Amino acid sequence: MARSDRPAYLDLPPDELAARARLGLTHLERCRVCPRDCDVDRLEDEIGVCKTGRHAVVSSCFPHFGEEDCLRGWRGSGTIFFSHCNLRCVFCQNYDISQATKARAERGYTPEELAGMMLELQARGCHNINFVTPEHVAPQVLEAVALAAARGLRLPIVYNTSAYDSLDSLALMDGVVDVYMPDFKYWTAAASRKYLVAENYPETARAALLEMHRQVGPLRLDPDGLARRGVLIRHLVMPGGLDETRAILEWIATELGRDSYVNLMDQYAPAGRVGPDRYPEIDRRLRSSELAEARAIARDVGLTRFDERRPHARLLRRLVG
């Protein structure tokens, strides 16, 4: 565990990152990188549910100013957005890059190229490296971080995930990831089967969050209000889904602690495969009354730390100056 505010991976023993990366690659041979357990040889570019072979596919790479305040700060969160996903959320807002079949083959990025992206984001002044949808490419992430650290990477690592992670992959990230940002989507198997096409999502997510919390604890901020270490939990409040919300928030308060940092997300909008004829019960935006009730539930179960959007003072000065 890191003993200072510098990134955790800098406190690992020499060559530990490279050793972790080599171990991670063995998980690709008969793929067990995520809970799908596809059993395909991704080292030979065989593909399973995630449609990703030996090398990770990147959709975008940029300083992100739309993340939580403690991540974006005043210079942005250095986001590397991976294509494809191991879930099949019917309402995915990024359906075109997470699930839709592409007419052309997509090029994977080598670990050297991924490392270069990280170092470029650092050079642009980003506060952290934010891996979005890394569940299916954990070994490739480790490869790239090992190379980037050897070349001077010094930014905290954010693991921005759906929480559909394998415990083996999370074990590889112990001492590497500084901030885990899981999105706990559904509590029940029935809802997970219907909307995520993953009936085992709830127990998988609970186990993953417990492991993340064991590794890094509750979210800790530095004097500038930037996330340095810990777990930041997202929950997208769904139309008609307040029973799911209550169960999730009660579990967080009980099992992870009332000091857990939670972002109750209100931006749901029909997308992906949702429409009047398919999943009509969620073919609407969230009502303000539903969000208000979700917030009341969070307070009722004893949670006290919530993400509230307000531009950082340094960002405001830059915008008006």
For residue 267, pLDDT over 60 is answered with: yes
Q: Are strands 220-221 and 227-236 parallel, antiparallel or unpaired?
A: antiparallel
Q: pLDDT for 103-152, tens place per residue?
A: 345 789 999 999 999 999 999 999 999 999 999 999 999 999 999 999 99
pTM above 0.85, yes or no: yes
Mean pLDDT taken over the chain: 93
Q: Which two tokens stand for residue 208?
A: 């993953």
pLDDT of residue 154: 98
Local confidence band at 3 (pLDDT 50, 70, 90 cut-offs): very low
Break the chain into its structural domains and give their ranges: 8-320
Q: How many CA atoms lie within 13 A of 18 on its CB side?
A: 6
**What does CATH list as the number for 8-320?**
3.20.20.70
Q: Are strands 261-265 and 77-82 parallel, antiparallel or unpaired?
A: unpaired
For residue 102, pLDDT over 80 is answered with: no
Q: pLDDT for 191-229, tens place per residue?
A: 999 999 999 999 999 999 999 999 999 999 999 999 999
For residue 312, pLDDT over 70 is answered with: no
pLDDT of residue 36: 96
For residue 280, pLDDT over 80 is answered with: yes
pLDDT of residue 104: 41
